[in-house]
């Protein structure tokens, strides 16, 4: 069903070393010594490629970053302490007071809170749109718009965006498009579809084992000739384009966000993330298949399932045409009421109840009483959070075992 084969080769070959220790070295040092003052000067002016200080980079993390950059066809990547760290890094490197964000689809609770509350305290305004509000999105773009932000799959509303169409809107308007691709690594390649930056929470399916919090932002290369990044809208990038050329978006993120906000990844987390990354293609191809089997069988058995593999889903055609390798590990069940949802969660023997997603194990959580408990009625409605909504993230178990367990839990 999928074409993850190239990644199977790529990941194991690039994570493991061909000489000496096969497993990547974990360099646990906060600071790095410089041989001579001349080398120190070179490291600080960028002409010598050696570690400067762990907030700005670490050799173990650098290995993860180069694999992630290659995975998405980017020019470089910055690994961060969490997925929210990656989103914050990408956004804060581009924003100033008075700027605006256009946020489409989704939206992960932390990102929603960042945009709707935290950034407003710094004079940054976000306007939120549904994935198919194309006309409203186009009309909302103005001179202050610096970012269009999109999630590859609505979590937990399971809506799928028309990524190419939104990328065209962003590119025609000369605005940077950031895609949160946490749920669909490998299945969707944001930079190849026209985005400028992809961001990930590696905590989820990329690690898969709940052992390490982490994130990563991958940046596209700046074009030699014409490029929307060279317009007055992004005047602040000019000095980075002059100094770092193709790497300007990355250099800008390091200097204007990583250095000053310090959401840096640590070596242990980067190591654990690489161990997960090695088997990502295998796990993801199994799980995306299981998701379809479990979602459709449960739906046939009368459970109220939301997943675009179902013919009744409004984005079923988009799923078939644009999401040929699935749309990640999630689906939702609407149990109709909080009480029914709690009964189901108390009855399931297989699902682990946790706020995480993309784990090797099947996970479940009631949405309204947990992640979305602080959100008002109107926002919950916009985000598709009903009283009986349970989010499921399918794991590596035998799908038939999950089906049997969920059917008995539903009784």
Ligand X SMILES: *Cc1c(COP(=O)(O)O)cnc(C)c1O
**Cβ nearer to ligand X, comparing 43 with 367:** 367
| Least spacing, CB of residue 215 vs ligand X, in Å | 5
Within 8 A by CB and 6+ apart from 204, the residues are: 83, 182, 183, 356, 357, 358, 359
**Cβ nearer to ligand X, comparing 104 with 213:** 213
329 binds ligand X (CB under 6 A): no
331 binds ligand X (CB under 6 A): no
| Least spacing, CB of residue 124 vs ligand X, in Å | 18
**Cβ nearer to ligand X, comparing 111 with 306:** 111
Pick the piece of the chain touching ligand X (CB under 6 A) from 1-9, 108-116, 224-232, 334-342.
108-116
Pick the piece of the chain touching ligand X (CB under 6 A) from 61-69, 103-111, 223-231, 374-382.
103-111
180 binds ligand X (CB under 6 A): yes
- What tokens does 190 get? 């944001």
| Least spacing, CB of residue 269 vs ligand X, in Å | 10
183 binds ligand X (CB under 6 A): yes
**Cβ nearer to ligand X, comparing 383 with 409:** 383
Task: Show the CA angle centred on residue 281, arms to residues 400 and 327, nearest 5°.
Answer: 65
Determine the residue with CB nearest ligand X: 83
Stretch 212-231 residues interacting with ligand X (CB under 6 A):
213, 215
| Least spacing, CB of residue 289 vs ligand X, in Å | 21
Question: Contacting ligand X (CB under 6 A), which of 71, 84, 173, 269?
Answer: 84
d(CA 46, CA 227): 24
Q: Are 270 and 63 in contact (CB under 8 A)?
A: yes
**CA 105 from centroid of its chain's CA atoms:** 13
| Least spacing, CB of residue 218 vs ligand X, in Å | 14
**Cβ nearer to ligand X, comparing 83 with 399:** 83
Question: Contacting ligand X (CB under 6 A), which of 4, 7, 11, 108?
Answer: 108
166 binds ligand X (CB under 6 A): no
393 binds ligand X (CB under 6 A): no
**Cβ nearer to ligand X, comparing 52 with 368:** 368
| Least spacing, CB of residue 309 vs ligand X, in Å | 19
d(CA 355, CA 73): 30
- Over the window 185 to 204, marking each residue x when it contacts ligand X by CB under 6 A and - when it does not, the resulting string is ----------------x-xx
d(CA 248, CA 254): 10
Stretch 14-33 residues interacting with ligand X (CB under 6 A):
none
- Over the window 247 to 286, marking each residue x when it contacts ligand X by CB under 6 A and - when it does not, the resulting string is ----------------------------------------
Site residue total, ligand X (CB under 6 A):
17
155 binds ligand X (CB under 6 A): yes
| Least spacing, CB of residue 292 vs ligand X, in Å | 20
**Cβ nearer to ligand X, comparing 92 with 248:** 92
d(CA 187, CA 327): 7
Q: Point out which residues bind ligand X (CB under 6 A).
A: 82-84, 108, 110-111, 151, 155, 180, 182-183, 201, 203-204, 213, 215, 357
């Amino acid at each position: 069903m999928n074409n993850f084969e190239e990644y199977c080769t790529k990941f194991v070959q690039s994570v493991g070393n061909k000489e000496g220790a096969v497993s990547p070295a974990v360099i646990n040092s906060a600071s790095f010594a410089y041989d001579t003052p001349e080398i120190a000067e070179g490291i600080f002016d960028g002409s010598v490629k050696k570690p400067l200080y762990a907030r700005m980079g670490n050799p173990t993390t650098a290995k993860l970053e180069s694999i992630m950059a290659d995975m998405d066809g980017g020019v470089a990547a910055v690994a961060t302490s969490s997925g929210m760290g990656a989103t914050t890094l990408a956004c804060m490197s581009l924003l100033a007071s008075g700027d605006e964000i256009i946020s489409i689809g989704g939206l992960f609770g932390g990102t929603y809170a960042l945009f709707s509350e935290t950034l407003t305290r710094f004079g940054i305004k976000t306007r939120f749109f549904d994935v198919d509000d194309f006309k409203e999105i186009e009309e909302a773009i103005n001179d202050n718009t610096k970012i269009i932000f999109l999630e590859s799959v609505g979590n937990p509303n399971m809506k799928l965006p028309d990524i190419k169409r939104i990328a065209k809107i962003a590119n025609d308007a000369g605005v940077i498009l950031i895609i949160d691709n946490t749920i669909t690594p490998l299945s969707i390649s944001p930079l190849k579809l026209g985005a400028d930056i992809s961001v990930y929470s590696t905590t989820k399916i990329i690690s898969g084992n709940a052992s390490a919090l982490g994130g990563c932002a991958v940046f596209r290369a700046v074009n030699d000739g014409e490029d929307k990044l060279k317009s007055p809208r992004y005047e602040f990038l000019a000095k980075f384009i002059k100094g770092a050329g193709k790497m300007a978006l990355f250099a800008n993120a390091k200097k204007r966000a990583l250095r000053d906000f310090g959401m840096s990844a640590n070596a242990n987390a980067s190591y654990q993330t690489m161990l997960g990354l090695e088997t990502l293609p295998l796990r993801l191809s199994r799980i995306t298949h299981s998701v379809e089997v479990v979602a459709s069988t449960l739906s046939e058995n009368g459970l109220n399932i939301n997943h675009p593999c179902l013919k009744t889903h409004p984005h079923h055609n988009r799923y078939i045409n644009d999401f040929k390798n699935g749309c990640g590990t999630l689906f939702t069940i609407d149990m109709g009421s909080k009480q029914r949802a709690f009964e189901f969660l108390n009855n399931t023997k297989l699902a682990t109840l946790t706020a995480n997603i993309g784990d090797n194990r099947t996970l479940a959580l009631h949405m309204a009483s947990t992640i979305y408990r602080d959100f008002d009625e109107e926002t919950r409605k916009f985000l598709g959070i009903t009283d009986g909504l349970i989010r499921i993230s399918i794991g590596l178990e035998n799908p038939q075992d999950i089906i049997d367990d969920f059917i008995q839990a539903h009784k």
